[in-house]
Amino acid sequence: MATTEATLDAPQEAQAPQHVPHDKLVIMAWSGDLDKIWPTFILGTTGAAMGMDTTIFFTFWGLFPLVRNDVHVTGENWMQKMMSMMNRGGTEHLKLGKMNFAGMGPAMMKKLADEHHVASPEELLEVARDLGVHLVPCQMTMDLLGLTRDDLIEGLEEPAGATTALLEARDAVTLFI
């Protein structure tokens, strides 16, 4: 038993004094589901807290959590408008990837989170912005879904494309959520 512990402890001790500077975290936030955007915000906030230069690219469904909660319908043509009605944006209107049960799932999840003092996506987003996380909306998705800059919350970077995302990701820990 003692031998096992020693083996497990050894690499940790060797790593402990090393301070790894200049590391980066890039998250490609593809999903707008509550149970995916939540860990996205948790990891993004933590990355920035750890001193990592942290960027989150919001693309496809991942862009919807950045829609302002008071915006009801987005889009310029009827298809984009229909899409936004079937999938309303904003952190208050997110669905669960599984066990959604017409909104009962998210309500229960939020109640549990509240009871266990787990920070809400809104709180996490606020801390993330304060710690300097770069929140970058995908320009192509905005065009595709007819989202304008005014539909989205404050504090975002200028919209950008895949090249910007991949350039950032080149020397970064990269997650696709």
Partner 1 sequence: MNETIAITLDLKGLSCPMPIAKTAQAIRALRPGQLIESLATDPGSVPDFKAWCVSTGHELVEQTEDSGVFRFVIRKEG
Contacts to partner 1 by CB under 8 A: 15-16, 18-21, 23, 42, 45-46, 48-52, 116-119, 124, 127, 130-131
CB of residue 151 to partner 1, shortest distance in Å: 28
CB of 130 or CB of 143, closer to partner 1: 130
CB of 93 or CB of 110, closer to partner 1: 110
Do 64 and 32 form a contact (C-beta atoms < 8 A)?
A: yes
CB of residue 155 to partner 1, shortest distance in Å: 16
CB of 13 or CB of 70, closer to partner 1: 13
d(CA 118, CA 137): 26
CB of 42 or CB of 156, closer to partner 1: 42
In SS3 terms, 83-123 reads as: HHHHCCCCHHHCCCCCCCHHHHHHHHHHHHHHHCCCCCHHH
CB of residue 149 to partner 1, shortest distance in Å: 27
Sign of CA dihedral 136, 143, 63, 177: negative
In the structure encoding, which two tokens stand for residue 140, read together? 């192509």
